[in-house]
Amino acid sequence: MRKIRPNEVMKRGVRVHVPVSIAETRISKRYDAIPSGTLYPNADEIKYLQRLDSAIIVLNKPPKLPVKGNLPVHNSMDALAAAALSYDYDEGPKLVHRLDRESSGILLLGRTKDSVSHLQWLFSNINNAKSSCKAWNDACEATYQRYWALVIGTPKEKEGIIHAPLSKVLLNDGKTERVILAHHSSVEPRQEAVTEYRVLGPKINGCSWVELRPLTYRKHQLRVHCAEALGTPIVGDYKYGWFVHSRWKQMPRVDIEPTTGKPYKLRRPEGLDVQKGSVLSKVPLLHLHCRELVLPNIAKFLHVLKNSSEELHTSLREQPDVLRFVATMPSHMRISWNLMSSYLV
């Protein structure tokens, strides 16, 4: 079997194998690699999820699982959601925003076309999402995400706001894309990027825990801002912090406890394997986790947004205007946290 050239003349009787187009493949065929046990939640699980919210689904994404799949990538978050979380809806839930493959934490999916469109507007530009309803606009203003990250070193200031536009460039291979801080003299298009940050505790073992709150949602924004704007790349981020990682010695070093003035000793829980991607492993996993999400209660406001009305239905007024979600850290970050968390706020 060989590939036919576009200008090749076919002879009578030649057998041609035509691949089925992606558009025609059924979702059940495309995602055969998903473990069958995940595709059939029991009746109690379905009832519980349906009772939680009719407009959104919130998942705690594990690290190293891609959010958006393509033909070679079968087990992605959108594939799993479409195959296992559709229930009585005609289509599976759709992604509202994305997380990097190596990162973890809260991932938001919309269950209906209306909820997806309004929430995508909210994450792209808050002004596009606003309406004539004051309660909805106030809920949009209250929206935020908070990430926790472990960085190498510590920022010079304990808290602040990073205003650093970003640009995308192609590397020498002509395929690999990289995000960098934009320069005024650069010809590449630039995107505004703003991040609030707060240091959660002292530097221990050469690292610091930092809380990050993006005010814009750009690709690799937090990773580039940590590595290039603050000079403290995230542990496990070899794309934007390779040089610092190569110099960083992952060895217990003498740090002083802020309360006693004595040398700090890393907590090493007995029986715990600290080599599974934690800060002490030879090759740590990315320590970036979307821990908290606050957003409008879209199910409450959908009727108002559809009809451009200012009044809420009486039955909906007692529901909260905003929802708050908190996701636990993955195992490798929990290990690092337990090793280094004596004096965190």
Q: First CA to last CA across the chain, in angstroms? A: 64
The b-or-e profile of 247-272 (16+ CB within 10 A means b, else e) is ebebebeebeeeeeeeebebeeeeee
DSSP per-residue letters across 101-130: TT-EEEEEEESSHHHHHHHHHHHH-HHHH-
* Spatial CB neighbours of 327, under 8 Å, sequence gap ≥ 6: 60, 104, 105, 106, 289, 290, 291, 292
Question: CA-to-CA distance for 61 and 333, rounded, in angstroms?
Answer: 14
Joined together, the tokens standing for residue 184 give: 């005024």
273 in catalytic set = no
Closest to 258 (Cα-Cα) out of 153, 337, 345 = 345
**List of residues 6+ apart from 97 with CB closer than 8 A:** 107, 108, 120, 123, 217
Catalytic residue among 44, 78, 88, 100: 100
- The string of DSSP codes covering 215-273 is SS--TTHHHHIIIIISS-PBTT-HHHHHHHHHH---S---EE-TTT-SEE-----TT--
Q: Which two tokens stand for residue 178?
A: 């990289």
Q: Compute how many other C-beta atoms are within 10 angstroms of the C-beta atom of residue 283.
A: 10
Catalytic residues, by residue number, are 100
